[in-house]
Structure 1
Amino acid sequence: MTKLLSITKPKSSAQIVAKQHMKKHLKRIRNKEYSRLRDMVPAIAKKQNISKVTVIEEAVRYIDELHRALASRLTNTEISSSQGNADILKDLVHSFIPTDFYERRAPPSVDFEKQQKVPSYLSRSKRPARFV
């Protein structure tokens, strides 16, 4: 029985560094999104040291609570016309969104890499890459 050996091309130090930077960048984004989610859930918004699992569990509970509240309000509301139904539903959904929700969110930023035709780690420029 013969073993097949996988032959991989050795990676350059620049590729290794670029991969490390990418991992750090993605980790920062992931942590930022967890903190945004934590801030949206009232039960854990003020707490500081909470695990990511707890954040997700509490977010699911909060969504279930909102769903139950919406369902109970819809069943208790008498709706006479289909246009009235859409308006009532729209008002109801907007009543669940905090007033400062859209102000809290940072505007989406256009990433420098997305503007480039060739990724920076493939370009031949002599200047070092900057990571914010």
Structure 2
Amino acid sequence: MDNRGLSTVVEKLLSLSIVVLYITLLTTVLYGGSIPAYQGAVGAQLGERALAEATAEVERAVPPRGRNVAASQRVDLPGTIDGSPYSIRANGSHLLLSHPDDEVGGQARPVLPDRVGNVTGTWYSGADTVVTVSGSRGNLTIRLGARG
């Protein structure tokens, strides 16, 4: 009995199984550890950037001194962070980013003139967001909200 043709087939099957094993191992390592960690870090950085942009927009919305103020300005925010919706809420003096992932979030305090008394409201991702400033000469209120 001649088995010389069979050795070539066995060699190819062994080579193919080693390649499949290598690809499976590499995929498991990447999707099990490296890629989720990278996505979490990118999500945290995007959250920090969105919060910084929101803070800058609030600071920019305050007009120069005047008797009565009524101004509204559109604010562009990312639709999602790390694939999930989020919100930015004002608690009087700070902006707070809330996200389902604990790694994504934070707070920032806008630098505002003394005539701004209060910052209120909430922005929700995916909405048409605006910042509104209203009040009189010495007492302005900033409100985060949706257009409409």
Tell me the TM-score normalized by structure 1: 0.28
Q: Which has the higher strand share?
A: 2
Structure having the higher Rg: 2
Tell me the TM-score normalized by structure 2: 0.26
